[in-house]
């Protein structure tokens, strides 16, 4: 499927910012699932943009505005072709305990995705959940799908109830959240089990007949989870929609949690206070 | 043996009393030089043990070889950690505790520091065990501290106990800054425009200031620096100056608010951009913070075997991760033999962590704690808390890596470990001097040799420094004016203010005082009260309002912020004036007013003379002078206004003798009495007085003179490119206006009294212009914003891919 994505972020400062420095992670990645046909980034005020690849392999752009400015507009326009990925979960006929043994051999390489991170702490509650779902003899894929469904049912989608800093323990009490919280909770359970899992940020096209969406989520960026399977493949699970990553998911960045993949991170010097406007459009072309 | 005889001879006279005295004079030396353990807590003092520790050459050789071996292993480890990670892959040391540590910086992975060197400066702590073996207690590579302490302890001790050093050849401790500079500027590319600087978290960091002065490099705060197009620049008065080598006094986590996620107020936004582009050599490189982990340090011996294939010469303290339940229960069983520490090397009190049954661990993350074995250390004589006793002591040593070769310098100081449970790197410790004596055939290595560094260059002053200098000038002048005013009042005597004209005097007095900002309560109480009230408000008042003491403290605070730019003589004169006022008794009755006032006059004149002598050729001095003359001019203007006010009054009282007294008073307040007498005849005429104070070109407090001085000081801006000349043009305009006015008055000699009324309006104008000038100066030079607005950025749309 071919998607045209436009993402516009606008910061309006209450008083002119004297200088600012920003880092962006909103560049769709070329990978086995998708091909980026074109990508364009427009800045206002216009300054040169630089790139680097971060620790997790994400293409990251950054720029500094060393003069007074009242607003900052970042607009990206991309055309991405997503490829069908038939049967992503096929060929893994291992039980949870067998999979864990295999993960043990790659512990060094996968270590980052087994550890607690800034927003994902491993708690006794997540341990309990993991032991309930990931019984040792159960087939791994079955358990993963069960977890995906469990998280989907456990939390109810309620924008505005949580924010970036909502912890996993708060989520367990609140039982409400957005895609980011669904993903954080699922990763916490997976890592408590010892299964390597990472956070994916991206876009999604809301297709009602394919997903069991309660409301459209095409208005904002989306987040889901990738699990490392014993066949050395990262496979995406979307607990918000209770699906496996499909053709309508467009990946931007991967990391340990939201902190590693925040779409725009920056600082400015000036008076406190700013207004943020975000407009995202994902359209099939 | 002769050496030991000499030492014994020198220490023979030392009893506890003289040692205590020496200790006190040492703390005074430290205080006057502004040396305190933490830049945030001024009242915290270093405790110095005046009893030196003598290190034999054999011991020194053993330590040197062992530490240099350790440094080599660390060099290899850091490179391995951020690239291949072979030590983990080969399972020599476990990877879990280190790759999960907060100090392991993922943003540094694959980021090769320019020159390929991770650390240039190294510091470690070693101590002698009871069995005679030396053991490493701690390594420090992230941002070695106390670099200048050894030199200062030696200097202070030499001042406090000069007899101690008689006839002994002791290894001198100078030369560390020069060695650091030499090591850090090695292998530079052909680009000769390299500029070295130091960055400190706060301006009050005394050590950074001293290092900057000694190395001849500027000191910056993170807010003084900006990253543009992948290069680091300092914001100076003349625009942006590139920086290539940066000594950091910031931990890894506070380097870059974007990359290391520290607060926006800390760090330099975009610093990692420079590191990625390899345009900046950070000393020591980002990522060294992981080495502060005591657990990692305990693997030193394994690293030496793995990387160097050698037998380790020095051992480190055995350390275990506390998350292992077996280790933790073992620790609880033998508490007296172990420390509990966090991963930064700080001691942790066990009580805070334990639950009710003393064996369960409550609410803490074991991942962040380690258990370290307590060493049994040899004891050395020390003068600890007023008694001579034997205490274990550690040596703090410094090394540099020069051209890829580690070198331990014979520069060190001792640390008395009074209580082993508080063996903590931040705990307030007792420090002592270490003597390395020339023995047998061994001679001192030549650490003091001149180093050849070609990269130093001058940098225009920062707006922050100029601002502090300006305010120093203003506050010093203000305090001197206050003191002079008190002296003048004193010279008239209490009686002069009483009698017939008491009320008029009170009014007059309030008018004069109106210039100074004082507490409203004390303002109303001034008057019929005696001199003591006046003195306690205007001399010793310690509120943030004007008084001699508070003005000097503000002057000192400003000085503290720019210590690196002040010559040591100026700094010592400033701090001794500040501390002499701090110790003034605040009691009213017993105080000798004349003595205090005169002492301050002498002290402040001395400070002024020292500033003028040592800063004369410096651009900063110009800002000091601008502050001084601005303040002088403003005060004169205030008195001129007062003079016009009195002349306006119609009462008989203001016509006769009283008017003369008031004139004399004003003349005395501005020190203009003799100048007036040499120009005009008695009786005093208000017009003459105003003319003298306004237009006289020679009298150093006249408005004309002050403005001309400010103009002269600002003339340097004409030579510098990119610098705004608005303040200079404005002063020129003021001078021209004043001159025209003087000419007008000169041609209208007849109309006497009317002129004075006319004066009032024009004086009001000048006063307004003074304020305007101040805001213009602040906007153009004294605040950060204005200095880098002229950066040109290419226009256009940037399309990627």
Report the 3 state secondary structure along B385-409: CCEEEEEEEEEEEEEEEECCEEEEE
Residue B449 lies in a domain: no
Determine, for residues A64 and B269 on separate chains, whether the beta-carbon distance falls below 8 Å: yes
Chain A neighbours among B 453-472 (CB < 8 Å)?
A: none
Contact status of B264 with chain A (Cβ, < 8 Å): yes
Residue B333 lies in a domain: no
Angle at B41 between CA B39 and CA B45, to 5 degrees: 95
B295 and B153 in a single domain? The answer is: yes
**Cα Rg of chain B, angstroms:** 32
Per the structure block, which two tokens stand in for B763?
Answer: 């004086």
Determine, for residues B273 and A50 on separate chains, whether the beta-carbon distance falls below 8 Å: yes
Contact status of A125 with chain B (Cβ, < 8 Å): no
Q: What is the pLDDT of residue B171?
A: 84
Checking if the pLDDT of B604 tops 90, the result is yes
Beta strands at A59-65 and A176-177: parallel, antiparallel or unpaired: unpaired
Mean pLDDT for B468-491 is 89
B421 and B515 in a single domain? The answer is: no
Q: Looking at the DSSP assignment, which residues form a beta bridge with residue B160?
A: none
Checking if the pLDDT of B599 tops 70, the result is yes
- Decide if B188 contacts B202 (C-beta within 8 A): no
Per the structure block, which two tokens stand in for B445?
Answer: 């290595």
* Spatial strand order in the sheet of B319-321: B319-321, B369-373, B338-342
- Decide if B432 contacts B393 (C-beta within 8 A): yes
**Half-sphere exposure of B693 toward its Cβ, with a 13 Å CA cutoff?**
30
User: Distance (Å, rounded) from C-alpha B561 to C-alpha B549?
Assistant: 19
Q: Looking at the DSSP assignment, which residues form a beta bridge with residue A200?
A: A224, A254
Cα–Cα separations (whole angstroms), residue B15 to B20, B50, B383, B720: 9, 11, 10, 61
Q: What is the pLDDT of residue A41?
A: 92
B687 and B664 in a single domain? The answer is: yes
Residue B561 lies in a domain: yes
Signed CA dihedral, B475, B477, B482, B483: sign only: positive
Determine, for residues A111 and B99 on separate chains, whether the beta-carbon distance falls below 8 Å: yes
Q: With pLDDT > 90 as the criterion, what percentage of chain B qualifies?
A: 22
Confidence class of residue B366 from pLDDT cuts 50, 70 and 90?
Answer: low
Domain limit, last residue, from B598, B617, B636: B617
Higher-confidence residue of B466 and B610: namely B610
Residue B344 lies in a domain: no
Higher-confidence residue of B493 and B520: namely B493
Q: What is the pLDDT of residue B791?
A: 32
Confidence class of residue B174 from pLDDT cuts 50, 70 and 90?
Answer: confident
Q: Which residues contact B636 (CB under 8 A, 6 or more apart)?
A: B670, B693, B701, B702, B703, B706
ipTM of this complex prediction, to 2 decimal places? 0.91
Mean pLDDT for B497-504 is 63
Higher-confidence residue of B215 and B732: namely B732
User: Distance (Å, rounded) from C-alpha A35 to C-alpha A12?
Assistant: 33
B100 and B236 in a single domain? The answer is: yes
Checking if the pLDDT of B785 tops 70, the result is no
Range of the domain at B512: 463-617
Chain A residues near residue B795 by CB distance under 8 angstroms: 46
The string of pLDDT tens digits covering residues A202-261 is 988 866 554 455 444 545 678 999 999 998 889 999 998 888 988 888 999 999 999 899
B678 and B712 in a single domain? The answer is: yes
Determine, for residues B793 and A66 on separate chains, whether the beta-carbon distance falls below 8 Å: yes
Residue B52 lies in a domain: yes
Closest alpha carbon to B221 in B242, B238, B200: B200
B624 and B588 in a single domain? The answer is: no
Contact status of A174 with chain B (Cβ, < 8 Å): no
B521 and B408 in a single domain? The answer is: no
User: Distance (Å, rounded) from C-alpha B555 to C-alpha B578?
Assistant: 9
Domain at A2-82+262-284, CATH from 3.40.50.300, 3.40.640.10, 2.60.40.2250, 1.10.3720.10 = 2.60.40.2250
Q: What is the pLDDT of residue B789?
A: 32
Q: What is the pLDDT of residue B799?
A: 27
DSSP class per residue in B136-155: EEEEE-SS---TTHHHHHHH
Q: With pLDDT > 70 as the criterion, what percentage of chain A qualifies?
A: 95
Q: How far is A202 from chain B (nearest CA, A)?
A: 19
Determine, for residues A52 and B95 on separate chains, whether the beta-carbon distance falls below 8 Å: no
Determine, for residues B798 and A43 on separate chains, whether the beta-carbon distance falls below 8 Å: yes
* Residue labelled with tokens 């392991």: B104
Verify cis geometry, omega within 30 degrees of 0, for the bond prior to B520.
no
Q: Which residues contact B663 (CB under 8 A, 6 or more apart)?
A: B643, B684, B686, B689
B662 and B782 in a single domain? The answer is: yes
3-class DSSP state for residue B783?
A: coil
Contact status of A77 with chain B (Cβ, < 8 Å): no
B244 and B302 in a single domain? The answer is: yes
Give the count of domains, chain B.
3
User: Distance (Å, rounded) from C-alpha B141 to C-alpha B347?
Assistant: 19
Q: Which residues contact B462 (CB under 8 A, 6 or more apart)?
A: B218, B220, B224, B234, B235, B236, B237
* Sequence spans of domains, chain A: 2-82+262-284, 96-261
Determine, for residues B800 and A40 on separate chains, whether the beta-carbon distance falls below 8 Å: yes
Fold of A96-261: C8orf32 fold (3.10.620)
The string of pLDDT tens digits covering residues A111-123 is 999 989 989 988 8
Residue B327 lies in a domain: no
- Decide if B155 contacts B214 (C-beta within 8 A): no
Closest alpha carbon to B113 in B307, B246, B298: B246
Residue B359 lies in a domain: no
Q: What is the mean pLDDT of chain B?
A: 81
Verify cis geometry, omega within 30 degrees of 0, for the bond prior to B264.
no
Confidence class of residue A281 from pLDDT cuts 50, 70 and 90?
Answer: confident
Beta strands at B134-140 and B315-316: parallel, antiparallel or unpaired: parallel
Residue A36's closest chain B neighbor by CA?
B801
The string of pLDDT tens digits covering residues A62-79 is 888 888 888 999 999 999
Domain limit, last residue, from B387, B420, B436: B436
Contact status of A15 with chain B (Cβ, < 8 Å): no
């Amino acid at each position: 499927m071919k998607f045209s994505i436009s993402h516009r972020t606008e910061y309006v400062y209450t008083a002119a910012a004297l200088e600012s420095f920003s880092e962006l992670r909103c560049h769709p990645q070329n990978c086995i699932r998708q091909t980026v046909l074109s990508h364009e980034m427009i800045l206002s005020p216009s300054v040169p943009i630089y790139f680097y690849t971060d620790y997790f392999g994400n293409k990251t752009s950054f720029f500094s505005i060393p003069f007074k400015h009242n607003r900052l507009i970042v607009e990206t326009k991309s055309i991405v072709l997503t490829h069908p990925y038939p049967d992503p979960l096929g060929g893994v006929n291992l039980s949870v305990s067998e999979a864990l043994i295999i993960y043990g051999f790659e512990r060094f390489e996968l270590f980052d995705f087994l550890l607690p991170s800034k927003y994902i702490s491993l708690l006794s509650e997540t341990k309990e959940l993991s032991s309930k779902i990931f019984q040792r003899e159960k087939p791994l894929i079955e358990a993963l799908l069960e977890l995906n469904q469990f998280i989907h049912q456990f939390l109810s989608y309620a924008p505005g109830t949580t924010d970036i800093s909502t912890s996993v323990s708060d989520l367990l009490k609140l039982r409400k959240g957005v895609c980011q919280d669904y993903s954080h909770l699922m990763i916490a359970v997976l890592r408590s089990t010892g299964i390597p899992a990472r956070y994916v940020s991206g876009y999604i096209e809301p297709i009602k007949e394919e997903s069991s969406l309660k409301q459209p989520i095409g208005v904002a960026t989306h987040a889901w989870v990738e699990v490392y399977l014993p066949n050395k493949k990262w496979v995406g699970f979307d607990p918000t929609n209770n699906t496996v990553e499909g053709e309508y998911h467009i990946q931007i960045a991967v990391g340990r949690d939201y902190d590693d993949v925040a779409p725009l991170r920056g600082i400015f010097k000036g008076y406190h206070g700013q207004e943020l406007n975000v407009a995202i459009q994902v359209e099939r072309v | 043996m002769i050496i030991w005889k000499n030492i014994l001879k020198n220490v023979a006279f030392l009893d506890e009393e003289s040692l205590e005295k020496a200790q006190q004079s040492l703390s005074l030396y430290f205080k006057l030089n502004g040396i305190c353990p933490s830049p945030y807590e001024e009242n915290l003092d270093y405790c110095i043990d005046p009893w030196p520790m003598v290190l034999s050459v054999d011991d020194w050789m053993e330590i040197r070889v062992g530490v240099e071996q350790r440094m080599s292993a660390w060099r290899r480890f850091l490179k391995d950690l951020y690239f291949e990670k072979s030590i983990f892959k080969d399972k020599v040391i476990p990877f879990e505790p280190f790759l999960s540590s907060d100090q392991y910086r993922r943003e540094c992975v694959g980021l090769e520091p320019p020159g390929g060197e991770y650390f240039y400066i190294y510091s470690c702590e070693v101590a002698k065990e009871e069995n005679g073996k030396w053991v490493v207690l701690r390594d420090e590579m992230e941002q070695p501290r106390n670099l200048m302490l050894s030199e200062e302890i030696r200097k202070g001790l030499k001042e406090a106990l000069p007899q101690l050093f008689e006839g002994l050849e002791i290894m001198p401790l100078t030369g560390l800054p020069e060695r650091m500079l030499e090591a850090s500027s090695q292998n530079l590319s052909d680009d000769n425009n390299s500029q070295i600087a130091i960055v400190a978290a706060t301006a009050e960091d005394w050590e950074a200031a001293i290092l900057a002065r000694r190395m001849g490099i500027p000191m910056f705060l993170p807010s003084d620096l900006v990253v543009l197009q992948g290069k680091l620049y300092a914001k100076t008065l003349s625009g942006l100056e590139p920086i290539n080598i940066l000594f950091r006094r910031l931990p890894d986590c506070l380097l870059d608010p974007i990359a290391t996620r520290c607060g926006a107020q800390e760090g330099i936004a975009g610093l990692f951009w420079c590191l990625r582009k390899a345009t900046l050599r950070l000393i020591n490189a980002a990522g060294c913070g992981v080495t502060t982990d005591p657990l990692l340090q305990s693997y030193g011996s394994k690293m030496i075997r793995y990387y160097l294939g050698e037998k380790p010469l020095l051992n480190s303290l055995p350390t275990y991760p506390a998350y292992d339940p077996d280790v933790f229960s073992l620790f609880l069983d033998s508490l007296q033999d172990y420390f509990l520490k966090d991963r930064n090397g700080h001691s942790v009190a066990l009580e805070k962590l334990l639950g009710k049954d003393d064996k369960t661990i409550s609410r803490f993350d074991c991942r962040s704690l380690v258990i370290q074995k307590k060493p049994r250390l040899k004891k050395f004589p020390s003068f600890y808390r007023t008694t001579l006793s034997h205490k274990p002591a550690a040596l703090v040593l410094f090394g540099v890596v020069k051209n890829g070769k580690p070198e331990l310098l014979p520069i060190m100081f001792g640390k008395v470990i009074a209580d082993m449970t508080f063996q903590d790197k931040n705990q307030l410790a007792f420090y002592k001097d270490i003597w390395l004596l020339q023995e047998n055939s061994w001679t001192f290595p030549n650490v003091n040799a001149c180093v050849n560094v070609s990269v130093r260059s001058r940098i225009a002053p920062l707006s922050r420094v100029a601002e502090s200098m300006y305010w120093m000038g203003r506050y010093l002048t203000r305090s001197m004016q206050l003191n002079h005013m008190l002296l003048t009042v004193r010279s008239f005597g209490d009686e002069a203010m009483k009698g017939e004209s008491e009320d008029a005097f009170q009014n007059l007095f309030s008018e004069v005082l109106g210039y100074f900002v004082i507490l409203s309560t004390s303002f109303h109480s001034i008057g019929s009260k005696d001199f003591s009230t006046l003195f306690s408000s205007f001399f010793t008042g310690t509120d943030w309002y004007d008084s001699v003491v508070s003005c000097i403290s503000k002057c000192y605070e400003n000085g503290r912020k720019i210590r690196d730019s002040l010559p040591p003589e100026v700094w010592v004169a400033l701090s001794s004036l500040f501390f002499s006022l701090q110790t003034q008794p605040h009691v009213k009755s017993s105080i000798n007013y004349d003595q205090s006032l005169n002492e301050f006059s002498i002290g402040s004149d001395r400070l002024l003379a020292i500033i003028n002598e040592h800063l004369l050729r410096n651009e900063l001095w110009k800002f000091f002078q601008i502050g001084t003359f601005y303040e002088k001019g403003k005060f004169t203007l205030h008195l001129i206004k007062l003079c016009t006010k009195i002349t306006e009054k119609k009462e008989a009282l203001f016509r006769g003798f009283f008017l003369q007294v008031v004139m004399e008073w004003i003349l005395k307040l501005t020190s203009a009495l003799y100048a007036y007498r040499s120009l005009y005849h008695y009786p005093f005429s208000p017009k003459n007085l105003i003319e003298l104070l306004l237009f006289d070109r020679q009298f150093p407090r006249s408005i004309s003179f002050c403005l001309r001085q400010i103009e002269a000081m600002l003339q340097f801006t004409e030579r510098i490119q990119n610098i705004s000349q608005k303040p200079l043009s404005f002063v020129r305009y003021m001078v021209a206006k004043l001159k025209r006015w003087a000419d007008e008055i000169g041609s209208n000699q007849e109309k006497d009294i009317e002129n004075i009324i006319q004066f009032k309006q024009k004086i009001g104008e000048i006063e307004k212009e003074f304020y305007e000038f101040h805001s213009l100066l602040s906007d153009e030079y004294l605040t950060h914003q204005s200095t880098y607005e002229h950066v040109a950025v290419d226009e256009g749309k940037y399309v990627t891919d």
